[in-house]
Amino acid sequence: MDRKSIAVVVACVAALILWQFVLVPKYFPNRPPPQSATNAVNSAQSPAGTNGVTAANTTNITTSTNGAAMTTTTTAPALEVNTNVPEQLLVITNENARYTFTSYGGGLKLVELVNFPETVPSWRNRRAQSTTVATLNRDTPSPTLAILGGSAVQGDGIFTLTRTTTGVRAEKALPNGLVIVKDFAPTTNFLMTATVWLENKSTQ
């Protein structure tokens, strides 16, 4: 090995040492490990209820104060529906999607993207393309824009669906004089505008 080769090897070794022990600690210091959380939050979804009551999300929050553990359980409002009344579905379609509205809760139950198949075969997996389309909202516990919070604001949960010039209207009149009206109107780029208003027609 000539002197030039020896000089190149020595220069490379020196550069590695300089990089490892000088440059890296200076410009890339070790970050302290993240501190462990003191509050443990566990989320669980209760199984689907019966008699027309959909599942509610339950969150258990455990905190520790001076060594004493304290657990708080909160339950999200659930959609209550009188299943003795048949469900009414109303479907509208535009160039992008097919929207299914339900009288149970008066909201958007399902969105089907008519231009997108549910499964697309790849060059490795050349199985036949599925005839179904991609969907949204299929497994949600309640329809989109359903008003939750008990019978005082949702009654038996049954809304009346009517088709409008721009989309769908869901309307509910409660015995206490409260009227809930929701207007849905599909627009471009897979978007939908929705207007919800509550009107008190009682003397209270």
Q: Which range marks the domain in which residue 54 is found?
A: 40-75
In a domain? residue 84: no
Q: Higher model confidence: residue 147 or residue 39?
A: 147
How many domains does one find in the chain?
3
- The amino acid present at 19, given as its one-letter code, is W
Written as six digits, the tokens of 129 are 């393309």
In a domain? residue 153: yes
Q: What CA–CA distance (Å, rounded) separates 53 from 79?
A: 6
Q: Higher model confidence: residue 200 or residue 65?
A: 200
Across the chain, mean pLDDT equals: 78
In a domain? residue 52: yes
Residues 12 and 102 in one domain: no
Q: What is the mean pLDDT of residues 67-73?
A: 62
Residues 96 and 64 in one domain: no
Sheet hosting strand 89-93, strand order edge to edge: 89-93, 97-102, 107-117, 133-136
Residues 99 and 150 in one domain: yes
204 class by beta-carbon count within 10 Å (0-12 exposed, 13-18 middle, 19+ buried): exposed
CA 120 to chain centre: 24
Written as six digits, the tokens of 4 are 């030039």
In a domain? residue 49: yes
pLDDT beyond 50 at 51: no
Predicted confidence at residue 32, as pLDDT, reads: 63
Residues 108 and 126 in one domain: yes
CA triplet 6, 12, 17: central angle to 5 degrees? 125
- Greatest mean pLDDT among 14-28, 46-60, 132-146, 172-186 lies in 172-186
